[in-house]
Amino acid sequence: MAEQVGGPAPQGEQRGTGARGAPSTWKRLLRYTLTRLVALFITVVIGVYLTILIANMGGYVDEIRRSQIREQIAVKFQNDPAFRALPPEERQKRIDAEVAVEEKRLGLDKPFLVRSFNYLKHALTLDLGRSENMTSDSGSRQVRLIILERLPATLVLFGTSQIVLFAIALYIALYLSRHYGSWLDRFFVALSPLSSAPGWFYGIFLILIFAAWLKWLPFGGMVSVPPPESPVRYALDVAYHMILPIMALTLSSIFISVYGWRTFFLIFSSEDYVEMARAKGVHPRAIERRYILRPTLPTIITSFALGVIGVWMGAPIFETIFNWPGLGRVLFHAVQLFDTPVIVGSNVIFAYLLALTVFLLDIIYAIVDPRVTVGGGRQS
């Protein structure tokens, strides 16, 4: 873990150890980096293996799959007049043969424990492999494509909304921290409980108002039918279809985000060194930038980074309400089908992204916040 060393005030000038300390610093940095990477990797391994176990209900899914296979094949044959003309023992033989083929295809001829470690090995090496039942939108069984084909749509909606929300929330929060107790401040505080409802909840109302009643905006989907041929018109059409979902996402989070950030800034605004700066007559904008924003930067960056990688998982119900082709629905569908490779594939990427983000944040903290060092020890 990055070590936060409390200090009375941000002293950017204290950063750096100088040329004399370089060899030991590099060694320390390297040791820290390696230790950190190993720890994160072990965390990823444990997380991914737990995902495999959960996705397969500890192997119980095998039983479910076997039941489904046998029933589906038996019913399929039952509806085949040619099959019904066969003697009973021959019919059973045929059913057993097809069941065996399907079980082999799904790997059910091997013990779950063996398969679980195979899943783990493939996942950790990012060999996402093939899905068991699902296909990508373009019909591929490669987990990579199943995920990648949905990624742009997910990023454009949730990424945009995340950026919009983040920027607006920060901006308003800063404003409110400067105008503590104003009517606008009270307004946001009063409305913050609205964020207890999820985005899809607001989505339903927004669809009813703006699509069904006013007919200003589309009910859902990502583009019009059929999709426009010109890239520019296509982009405008996507933007038009994004208005309602972004409104819903923003509405569901803006008040609590503003409330949270505003409170956070208020706490920092009352620190001694800020009061000292005010007393010295430093310009309010400079106080905001140097004495409030700067020390809160690690938290802001962490929040933003985790928010952005959280986009990876999508939002199944929200995407369903807006008929948006995002990753959330893919993952939800995979869970319904017990499609382990897709579940594991999606989660392992998230795990790596999370680990990488945490690792990079450690370094970024050290860059943006002079109170933080990596590898332990106090800087002098």
Partner 1 sequence: MWRNRKLWLVFALVAMLALALAACGQEQAPATEAPATEAPMTEEAQPTEAPQPTEEAKPTEEPKPAHTGAWVDEVTFITETDSQAAVTRLQEGLIDVYAFTIGNPDLYKTAKEDPNIKVVEFFGVYNELTINPYGVEAEDGVVTERDGTKVKPEFDNGAMNPFADPKVREAMNWLVDRNYIAQEIMGGLATPKYLPITSAFPDYARYIDTVREVEAKYAYNFEKAKEVITAEMEAMGAEMGEDGIWTYNGQPVTIIILIRVEDERKEIGDYVANQLEELGFKVERRYGTFSDLGAYWIRGNPADGEWHIYTGGWITTAVSRDQGGNFEFFYTPRGLGIALWQAYRNSPDFDTAAEKLANNDFADMAERDELFRTALSLANEEAVRIWLVDQKSFSVVRSDIHVAYDLAGGISGAVLWPYTLRVGDEPGGSVTWVNADILSDVWNPVAGSDAIYDMQAIRATGDWGVVSDPYTGLAWPQRIEKAEVFAVKGTPITKTLDWVSLEFVDEIQVPDDAWVDWDAEAQKFITAGEKGEPMTARVKSVVYYPEDLYDKVTWHDGSPFDVADIVMSLIMTFDRGKEASAIFDESYQPDFESFLSVFKGVRIVSEQPLVIEYYTDSFQLDAELNVSTLWPQYGYGEGAWHTVALGVLAEQNQELAFSADKADALEIEWMNFVAGPSLEILAKYLDQAMADNYIPYANTMSAYVTEDEAKARWENLKAWYDAKGHFWVGTGPFYLDGVFPLEKTVVLKRYEAYPDPSDKWLGFGEPKLATVSIEGPARVSTSAGEAVFDVYVTFQDAPYPADEISGVKYLLFDSQGTVVASGSADLVEDGHYQVTLSGDVLGQLGVGANRLEVAVTSIRVSVPALESIEFLSIP
Residues 6+ apart with CB under 8 A from 144: 128, 345
Q: At what angle do helices 340-368 and 22-55 cross, to 10 degrees?
A: 160
The least distance separating partner 1 from the CB of residue 214, rounded to whole angstroms, comes to: 12
The least distance separating partner 1 from the CB of residue 25, rounded to whole angstroms, comes to: 36
The least distance separating partner 1 from the CB of residue 175, rounded to whole angstroms, comes to: 10
> 155 or 191: whose CB is closer to partner 1?
155
Q: Is 28 buried (19+), middle (13-18) or exposed (0-12) by CB count in 10 A?
A: middle
Q: Give the Å distances, CA to CA, from 11 to 78, 154, 182, 298, 368.
A: 79, 41, 33, 15, 11
The least distance separating partner 1 from the CB of residue 248, rounded to whole angstroms, comes to: 15
The least distance separating partner 1 from the CB of residue 102, rounded to whole angstroms, comes to: 8
> 112 or 338: whose CB is closer to partner 1?
338
β-pair partners for 179? none
Tokens of 32: 């820290």
Helices and strands (DSSP H and E) totals, the chain: 16, 2
How many alpha carbons fall within 13 Å on the CB side of residue 96?
A: 6
DSSP state of 228: P
Q: Are 124 and 44 in contact (CB under 8 A)?
A: yes
> 65 or 371: whose CB is closer to partner 1?
65
Q: Are 166 and 304 in contact (CB under 8 A)?
A: yes
> 162 or 346: whose CB is closer to partner 1?
162
> 95 or 356: whose CB is closer to partner 1?
95
Handedness of CA 49, 54, 59, 65 (dihedral sign): negative
The least distance separating partner 1 from the CB of residue 292, rounded to whole angstroms, comes to: 16
Q: Are 84 and 76 in contact (CB under 8 A)?
A: no
> 291 or 324: whose CB is closer to partner 1?
324
> 50 or 167: whose CB is closer to partner 1?
167
The least distance separating partner 1 from the CB of residue 23, rounded to whole angstroms, comes to: 42
The least distance separating partner 1 from the CB of residue 191, rounded to whole angstroms, comes to: 22
Tokens of 136: 């990508």
Residues 6+ apart with CB under 8 A from 134: 141, 146, 330, 333, 334, 337, 339, 342
Nearest CA among 157, 128, 203, 198 for reference residue 312: 157
The least distance separating partner 1 from the CB of residue 152, rounded to whole angstroms, comes to: 4
> 140 or 379: whose CB is closer to partner 1?
140
Element (DSSP H or E) covering residue 323: none
> 47 or 310: whose CB is closer to partner 1?
310
